[in-house]
Amino acid sequence: MEERFRHYLEEISLPVELYDKVENILRIFAQLSSETVEQIFVSEYLKPDGSREYESLWCFSRNLALEATDFVVGNEISVMRLIQIAFLVIRKKHYDFTQSQNNSELYIEYDPSVVDRAGYLKASGTNCDHLKNVALRYLAPRSD
């Protein structure tokens, strides 16, 4: 696993025991596509005790997005072509879309135009900055 991915996982406090799962999913992506994974993202939300509940793992390349749903215990993987994104909803809380704070929260909902593959990603704290970058780079509707 690339060092920057490892740093990201450390930053969002993903338990080290799950790193193997992330590596395995990255390997699957490499088998599915010749494109290089440019960014990974873990969708998560805060629980009342302040800990994070991790939902899905995303791997983004230039044209593809792989989602490992409920990756902590699940085994379902789906891959989507990013060119089809046509609709985006941004909801933010304690977040100016520039610099995250500890209590920041961000919710991004996307909807492809041609297939029923809409979904959402969630982030808390510093992970909001990562989600913002993902949204702007990969999920924002494209005109091409």
Partner 1 sequence: MKKPQTINEYKTWLKSELGFRISGADRQYYYSVAKAMREQLLASDFWCDLSPTLERFDGQYLSKTGYQLLESLDPPDILVKPFDSFLLKTYRKNVINNMRWSDQISPPSGGWITPENWFSEINDIIRTLFVVRYLDGVEFLAESIEELASQHGVSCTVSYEAKETGYYAAHLDIMLDCEIPDRYWGTARILSTIEFQITTQVQELIRRLLHRRYEIERKSQPSTSVKGWQWDYNNQQFTLNYMGHLLHYVEGMIMQLRDA
Tokens, residue 83:
């060119």
Name which position in 62, 91, 137, 142 contacts partner 1 (CB under 8 A).
Answer: 91
Place of tokens 């005790």: 49
Q: Cα(69)–Cα(104) distance, rounded to whole angstroms?
A: 23
Name which position in 12, 18, 33, 111 contacts partner 1 (CB under 8 A).
Answer: 111
Q: Cα(119)–Cα(26) distance, rounded to whole angstroms?
A: 21
Q: Which CB, 83 or 118, lies closer to partner 1?
A: 118
Name which position in 33, 120, 126, 140 contacts partner 1 (CB under 8 A).
Answer: 120
Q: Which CB, 36 or 51, lies closer to partner 1?
A: 51
Name which position in 47, 62, 137, 142 contacts partner 1 (CB under 8 A).
Answer: 47
Which range binds partner 1 by CB under 8 A, 6-14, 16-24, 26-34, 109-117? 109-117
Q: How far is the CB of 8 from partner 1 (least distance, A)?
A: 22
List of E strands, the chain: 39-46, 52-60, 64-69, 76-81, 85-93, 105-112, 119-124
What is the side-by-side strand order in the sheet with 76-81? Answer: 39-46, 52-60, 64-69, 76-81
Name which position in 33, 69, 84, 126 contacts partner 1 (CB under 8 A).
Answer: 69
Q: How far is the CB of 3 from partner 1 (least distance, A)?
A: 31
Tokens, residue 71:
């990756």
One-letter identity of residue 117: R
- Residues at the interface with partner 1 (CB under 8 A): 45-48, 53, 55, 69-70, 91, 93, 105, 107, 109, 111, 116-120, 122
